[in-house]
Chain A
Amino acid sequence: MSTITAAPGSGVSIVAPRVRATGAVVGAVLLGVIVVVSIAAPVLAPYDPEAFTLTAILQAPSPAHPFGTDEIGRDILSRVIWGGRPVLVTTIAATLLSLVIGLIMGTLASTGRIADTIVTRIADIQLSIPGLVFAMLAIALTGAHLGNIVLVLALSAWPLHFRVVRAHAAGVRGLPFTEASTLAGSSAWYRITRNYLPGVLPLLSVTTGITATVVALSATGLSYLGLGVVLPDWGRMIAISKGHLSDAPWASGFPSLALVLFLLSVQLVAAAVSGRARVSLKRSNGV
């Protein structure tokens, strides 16, 4: 059985640090808070995130503006509350899309030798392209719409899922239960959904965690560079206010803090998920 998990398992254990249960709890709570705040932004934000008051620019944190105001007098607290939405939506959508593409491609590759060679080549080309740089250039060429951003990020992330699915399918193909299933005259669809996929799900939870971390970082990088959607957004806020580091550090400081907490929570949850998946895999393999 070890042949199934050897390749993906050993790689993941090196990438993901071992994090204790407290890390997982902290990460989950943080992420939960960020998601709830982002959903409830219209209710929670004290001001309109785009409303500006030119008489109150770059004000230090005060009771009226707990996080201060930016260079055209917008309330930073309100913008930080709203600013999580773009990166959350982008990360979730791009991660899920990459998962779907990876699953389809991996399944496709398991159907035959020629398909396998072609898809693996495409994945290799994709992997030889540095993600953020090409996301940046592709979006520069095609325009910064949410759909484009999600598609580009998903396209740079799918090979990871693909490799895991492909390796798993290759491992399962020779096993007695798959052969029995084939001999019993099961359809290809049945074999894919009942023989291949159930076993690969724990592995995909690991790759999904890794992908979410990478995609979230890339998405914030894009919005920092002004290639995100035009909305209040942490990365964009930092980029806009970075010139006022000496006279108004709060303007870039609070969005930075929110961004780092978000990325940290994603990473902690991902590490916890991959730790769990490894334990359950070990158990099911009797190692």
Chain B
Amino acid sequence: MIDMSSLVAQSAPLRFPTRRLRFRASSVLRSVLSAIIALWGVLTLVFFAILLTGNPATLLASPSPTKAQPTALTAQFGFDQSLGEQYVRFLGNIVTGNYPDSFRLSANPIDQLLAALPYTLALAAASLLIAVVLGLAVGYGAVFAGNRALRSTPITILAAFQATPVFVIGLLLILLFSVRLGWLPTGGARTPQSIILPAVALSLVMAPRIAQVFRASLLQLVDAEHVRAATAKQISLRTVRLRHVAANSLVPVVSVIGLELGGLLGGSVLTESLFNWPGIGAATIAAIDSKDYPVIIAAVVVIAAIFIIVNALVDLFTVRIDPRAELNL
């Protein structure tokens, strides 16, 4: 009879010094609470960043303001009042979506960014899908492929992409598939094929990490006792590898996806700018170029909110796919 407790210990997931250790121990409520605290921290940083720039009313008023506009803004945000008062008003305005209008488009910046949101989400989803498929395939191959060259070459090539900025990868893809071969558009979002190049470029930022983590996690499990027991029971090699090794190695992959989300967001700004993909990143860059401060501030809030919410979801998901994650801490 095999000692069950040793089996559990053997297959315990890899421990990362992640930012989510704290979250993972918690329930849904704590996850949400942490997200709110983080958002509040971001808003506070924005508040002080605006204060540092001098007079916020002139910053937020359009470049050629009417006399009344800075005064109206001062009233709205209470810039003439005490710091504490300003802070409370600022938070209130941000939370209720009460922003000054965008200089360029004379529209509420939040509406403008929410209109761009589907594009960013589509790009993120497509590239995440490619990255996960590619990363898992290469990581799996790096451990189980038939010969040595097949085990080491793909993961080494993928690792080289880690040192390559996404805009260089994107340029290479454009050069090859748009300029030389003429198969795909160089940018924009007019045809459904337009998403292919940006998604592939962005996926190559995350795929190497996934492959490396999956490989390391597989290697930790190939010799685990429950795997040897399964092999000894003459379960087919494929089943042992997929169900007993690979399936149990997925938890660190989910963790690393969570950790890399920030990189994905940053990468998507660069990618959107390179491929003229009309998402939040491109809108933000356009706002930065034209010093459209209301939009810049709204972008901070929207991007932080997306990032923090998705991160909280990843935490919950981690506990869901591996209940041990909650027990461990």
A residues adjacent to B (C-beta < 8 A): 6-8, 10-11, 13-15, 17, 121-122, 124-125, 127-134, 136-138, 140-142, 163, 167, 213, 217-218, 220-221, 224-227, 235, 238-239, 242, 245-246, 249, 252, 256, 259-260, 263-264, 266-267
Q: Which of B292-327 contact A (CB under 8 A)?
A: 293, 296-297, 299-300, 303-304, 307-308, 311
Q: List 15 A-B contacts (CB under 8 A).
A: A14-B213, A17-B159, A17-B212, A128-B311, A129-B38, A130-B307, A132-B270, A140-B296, A141-B297, A221-B167, A225-B273, A226-B289, A239-B167, A245-B179, A266-B163
Assess whether B168 is in contact with A245, with CB atoms less than 8 Å apart.
no
Mark contacts of B237-253 with chain A using CB atoms, 8 A cut-off: 1 yes-contact digit, 0 otherwise: 00000000000000010
**Complexed CA–CA distance, A213 and B208 (Å):** 15
Assess whether A124 is in contact with B49, with CB atoms less than 8 Å apart.
no
Q: A225-B273, A245-B175, A263-B163 are in contact. Are A130 and B265 (CB under 8 A)?
A: yes
Q: A7-B15, A124-B38 are in contact. Are A138 and B49 (CB under 8 A)?
A: yes
Answer yes or no: B62 CB below 8 A from chain A CBs: no
**Complexed CA–CA distance, A267 and B262 (Å):** 19
Stretch at the interface among B16-24, B90-98, B143-151: B16-24
Assess whether A10 is in contact with B14, with CB atoms less than 8 Å apart.
yes
Assess whether B296 is in contact with A137, with CB atoms less than 8 Å apart.
yes
**Complexed CA–CA distance, A148 and B61 (Å):** 24
With a cutoff of 8 Å between Cβ atoms, the chain B residues found around residue A239 in the complex are 167
With a cutoff of 8 Å between Cβ atoms, the chain A residues found around residue B212 in the complex are 14-15, 17
Q: A260-B168, A263-B165 are in contact. Are A125 and B38 (CB under 8 A)?
A: yes
Assess whether B17 is in contact with A137, with CB atoms less than 8 Å apart.
no
Assess whether B42 is in contact with A259, with CB atoms less than 8 Å apart.
no
Answer yes or no: B285 CB below 8 A from chain A CBs: yes
Assess whether A128 is in contact with B14, with CB atoms less than 8 Å apart.
no
Mark contacts of B262-301 with chain A using CB atoms, 8 A cut-off: 1 yes-contact digit, 0 otherwise: 1101110110011000000000110111010100110110
Closest B residue to A256 by beta carbon equals B168
Answer yes or no: B222 CB below 8 A from chain A CBs: no
Q: A140-B288, A226-B289 are in contact. Are A13 and B42 (CB under 8 A)?
A: no
**Complexed CA–CA distance, A225 and B16 (Å):** 33
Assess whether B17 is in contact with A141, with CB atoms less than 8 Å apart.
no
With a cutoff of 8 Å between Cβ atoms, the chain B residues found around residue A7 in the complex are 15, 17
Answer yes or no: B174 CB below 8 A from chain A CBs: yes
With a cutoff of 8 Å between Cβ atoms, the chain A residues found around residue B308 in the complex are 128
Closest A residue to B161 by beta carbon equals A260
Assess whether B165 is in contact with A242, with CB atoms less than 8 Å apart.
no
Assess whether A242 is in contact with B274, with CB atoms less than 8 Å apart.
yes
Assess whether A130 is in contact with B300, with CB atoms less than 8 Å apart.
no
Q: Which of A129, A217, A267 contacts B304 (CB 8 A)?
A: A129
**Complexed CA–CA distance, A104 and B217 (Å):** 34
With a cutoff of 8 Å between Cβ atoms, the chain B residues found around residue A246 in the complex are 179
Assess whether A133 is in contact with B303, with CB atoms less than 8 Å apart.
yes
Sorted nearest first, the 7 A-B pairs with minimum C-beta distance are A132-B266, A130-B262, A125-B41, A128-B38, A140-B288, A264-B163, A263-B163
With a cutoff of 8 Å between Cβ atoms, the chain B residues found around residue A140 in the complex are 287-288, 291, 296
Closest A residue to B164 by beta carbon equals A260
Q: Which of A127, A220, A225 contacts B285 (CB 8 A)?
A: A225
Q: Which of B220-262 contact A (CB under 8 A)?
A: 252, 261-262
With a cutoff of 8 Å between Cβ atoms, the chain B residues found around residue A127 in the complex are 19
Q: Which of B52, B164, B269 contacts A136 (CB 8 A)?
A: B269
With a cutoff of 8 Å between Cβ atoms, the chain A residues found around residue B160 in the complex are 264
Assess whether B213 is in contact with A131, with CB atoms less than 8 Å apart.
no
Assess whether A13 is in contact with B216, with CB atoms less than 8 Å apart.
yes
Smallest distance from the beta carbon of B165 to chain A beta carbons, Å? 5
Closest B residue to A11 by beta carbon equals B17
**Complexed CA–CA distance, A42 and B213 (Å):** 44
Assess whether A225 is in contact with B303, with CB atoms less than 8 Å apart.
no
Assess whether A224 is in contact with B16, with CB atoms less than 8 Å apart.
no
